[in-house]
Structure 1
Amino acid sequence: MIRYEAKKYFYCYDAKMGKYLKKCGLDYITMAKNRYDDSLFTLWEKTEEFEVAISSYNQ
């Protein structure tokens, strides 16, 4: 069985942020709906490039 460490992944519920990350050349792992409230999210791996892009977005 494959185990995933939650700290290595980022659930993005913000479409604007997701578009920014794509613009930075990053790709999400999957796009899905939250099973509890049907809200759409993208799942991203927390790589060094991801952290740089998120820091830039949050400034």
Structure 2
Amino acid sequence: MTNLTEKDFFFCFTKKLSIYLKEEGISYIIKARSIKDNAIYTVYHKTDELQRALDKYKKLTR
């Protein structure tokens, strides 16, 4: 069994990016609210598919 760490997850605090990922067919694991500043964020498992979508998003928003 593999132990998961924080490095295995992508924490998204940007609503626009979260919507984009959903449109790309990538689902978050959990949606939560930060205790620190009450901001809503989503958490994704890091995968090659997620990385490709993040790379694509980065190119689109330059």
TM-score (norm 1): 0.91
| Pairs aligned (count) | 57
> In the alignment, which residue of structure 1 is the partner of 2:18?
18
Post-superposition shift, 1:56?
0.2
After the TM superposition, which parts of structure 1 deviate over 4 Å for at least 4 consecutive aligned residues? none
Identity %: 32
Unaligned stretches of 5+ residues in structure 2: none
Question: Equivalents in 2 of 1:4, 1:30: separation in Å?
Answer: 15
> In the alignment, which residue of structure 2 is the partner of 1:54?
54
> In the alignment, which residue of structure 2 is the partner of 1:35?
35
CA RMSD in angstroms, aligned pairs only = 0.9
Report the secondary structure of 1:4's partner residue: coil
Unaligned stretches of 5+ residues in structure 1: none
TM-score (norm 2): 0.87
Residue 39 of structure 2 aligns to which amino acid in structure 1?
A: S
